[in-house]
C-alpha cells in the first residue's frame, strides 16, 4: 500500500477519525461539506496536525504521534490541488510551473521540463498570462502542472471541480481523468459530488461527521452502500427504517410492505433504501399497489412522487424516476422493484 492513514483529531465538538489506505490507484472520499474530508487531506499534507495517529507514505513516516514525528509539508512530497487552484499572483503560468521545479538546480533542464509540461497540458498559448486571465480549465491545468513537475509521491485533489459550472465540470472531469491515466502514483480526491467520484475513482470511501465508513470499489459501493449515510451520499432518495423478517425478507413498516431482498439479510438491519430509478411498472417481484401524487417533468426524465397503498400517514412520498420514453398515458397502478435493487443498510 502506498499510503496508510490512521489519525484522530478533535476540533471543538468535531471529532475526526480516519483510518484507510490508498494504493497506486484513484481513490475518492465522498462526504458532505464539513464532514472532515478536506481536514483529512490537510493532515496528510502536513498543513494540519492530527492529535494522534500515524501517516505513512511509501514506507516513509510522515506523522507518528508516538514517535513524535511530524514532517513539515515541504518534506512530505505530497501534491495538493486546491479547490481554488492557489496559483501564485503576479506570476505567469510558466513562472508558476517553474515554482514546482525549484529542486532542479540546472536552469536549462528546468526550462526544458517546463516547456514539456506546458505542451502536455496544452498551455503554451497562455504560458505568458497571469493566473486571473485564465479560464477555469486552464487555471486547473496550470495548478496540476505545477504539482506534476514537482513529482510528488501522492497527488491529492480537494473538490477540484466545485468552482466550475455543470457543463464545464463534466468536460474537465473527463479531461483530468485522461491526463492522469498515465500517472503511476496514488491519487486521493475528496468531493461531495457522487457523479464525480463515480466517473473518476476506482475505489471509494464514505465519510460522515469525521468518521470514515465503508471503503470499497466505487461500483460495489454504489451497488451496496451498507450504511444509511453512504446510501444518502451516493444519491439514494428513498430510505425507510426496516426490520429483518426472514433470511431474504424485510418488513418496512413506514411503507407498509414486505420486501424480498437479493442478498441475505444480516442481523442488525436498520433500514432499506431503494433508488428512484429502480422502480418499474413491469417488474413482477416486490410489486405493490401505489398512488401517484405528483409528477414533475425534467428534460429527459419524469419524476413521480407516490405512496404505497398501506403507507403510514405522514410518511413522505416515495420517488420514482424514469426515462420519458417509458411514459404511458395512464399512470401505473402498481410498481415493482427487483430484490437485488433493495439496498440493505446496517448503520
Question: Applying CB under 8 A, which residues contact other proteins?
Answer: 42, 45-47, 72-80, 82-84, 86, 88-91, 99-100, 102-103, 130-133, 143, 146-147, 150, 152
Minimum distance of other proteins from residue 88's CB (angstroms): 5
Smaller CB separation from other proteins, 89 or 268: 89
Smaller CB separation from other proteins, 75 or 124: 75
Smaller CB separation from other proteins, 146 or 192: 146
Minimum distance of other proteins from residue 163's CB (angstroms): 10
The angle formed by the CA atoms of residues 76, 81 and 84, to the nearest 5 degrees, is 140
Smaller CB separation from other proteins, 116 or 282: 116
Set of cell numbers at residue 275:
433508488
| Three-class DSSP category at 340 | helix
Do the bridges between strand 69-70 and strand 60-64 make them parallel or antiparallel, or are there none, so unpaired?
Answer: antiparallel
Q: Cα 204 from chain centroid?
A: 7
Minimum distance of other proteins from residue 103's CB (angstroms): 6
Taking alpha carbons only, the member of 30, 342, 35 closest to residue 215 is: 30
With beta carbons less than 8 A apart as the criterion, state whether 241 and 252 touch. yes
d(CA 320, CA 87) in angstroms, rounded, equals 44
Smaller CB separation from other proteins, 113 or 199: 113
Minimum distance of other proteins from residue 326's CB (angstroms): 46
d(CA 138, CA 135) in angstroms, rounded, equals 5
Give the ranges where the chain is alpha helix by DSSP (H).
37-45, 93-99, 107-120, 136-148, 166-180, 194-200, 218-223, 228-233
Minimum distance of other proteins from residue 199's CB (angstroms): 25
Smaller CB separation from other proteins, 71 or 241: 71
Give the ranges where 224-267 is alpha helix by DSSP (H).
228-233
At residue 232, φ and ψ (nearest 5 deg) are: -60, -45
Minimum distance of other proteins from residue 132's CB (angstroms): 5
Amino acid at each position: 500500500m502506498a499510503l496508510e492513514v490512521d489519525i484522530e483529531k478533535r476540533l471543538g465538538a468535531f471529532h475526526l477519525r480516519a483510518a484507510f489506505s490508498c494504493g497506486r490507484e484513484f481513490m475518492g472520499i465522498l462526504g458532505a461539506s464539513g464532514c472532515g474530508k478536506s481536514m483529512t487531506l490537510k493532515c496528510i499534507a502536513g498543513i494540519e496536525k492530527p492529535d494522534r495517529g500515524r501517516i505513512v507514505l511509501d514506507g516513509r513516516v510522515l506523522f507518528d504521534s508516538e514517535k513524535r514525528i511530524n514532517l513539515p509539508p515541504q518534506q512530505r512530497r505530497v501534491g495538493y490541488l486546491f479547490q481554488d487552484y492557489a496559483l501564485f499572483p503576479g506570476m505567469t503560468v510558466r513562472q508558476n510551473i517553474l515554482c514546482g521545479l525549484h529542486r532542479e538546480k540546472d536552469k536549462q533542464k528546468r526550462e526544458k521540463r517546463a516547456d514539456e509540461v506546458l505542451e502536455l497540458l496544452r498551455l503554451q498559448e497562455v504560458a505568458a498570462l497571469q493566473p486571473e486571465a485564465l479560464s477555469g480549465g486552464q487555471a486547473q491545468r496550470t495548478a496540476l502542472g505545477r504539482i506534476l513537475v514537482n513529482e510528488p509521491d501522492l497527488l491529492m485533489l480537494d473538490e477540484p471541480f466545485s468552482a466550475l459550472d455543470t457543463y464545464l465540470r463534466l468536460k474537465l472531469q473527463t479531461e483530468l481523468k485522461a491526463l492522469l491515466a498515465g500517472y503511476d502514483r496514488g491519487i486521493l480526491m475528496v468531493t461531495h459530488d457522487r457523479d464525480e467520484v463515480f466517473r473518476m475513482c476506482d475505489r471509494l470511501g464514505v465519510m460522515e461527521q469525521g468518521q470514515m465508513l465503508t471503503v470499497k470499489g466505487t461500483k460495489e459501493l454504489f451497488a451496496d452502500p451498507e450504511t444509511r449515510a453512504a446510501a444518502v451520499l451516493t444519491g439514494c432518495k428513498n430510505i425507510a427504517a426496516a426490520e429483518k423478517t426472514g433470511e431474504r425478507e424485510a418488513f418496512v413498516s413506514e411503507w407498509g410492505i414486505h420486501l424480498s431482498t437479493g442478498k441475505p439479510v444480516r442481523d442488525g438491519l436498520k433500514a432499506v433504501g431503494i433508488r428512484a430509478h429502480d422502480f418499474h411498472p413491469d417488474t413482477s417481484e416486490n410489486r405493490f399497489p401505489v398512488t401517484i401524487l405528483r409528477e414533475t417533468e425534467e428534460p429527459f426524465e419524469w419524476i413521480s412522487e407516490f405512496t404505497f397503498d398501506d403507507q403510514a400517514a405522514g410518511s413522505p412520498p416515495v420517488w420514482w424516476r424514469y426515462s420519458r420514453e417509458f411514459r404511458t398515458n395512464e399512470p401505473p397502478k402498481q410498481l415493482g422493484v427487483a430484490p437485488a435493487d433493495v439496498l440493505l443498510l446496517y448503520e
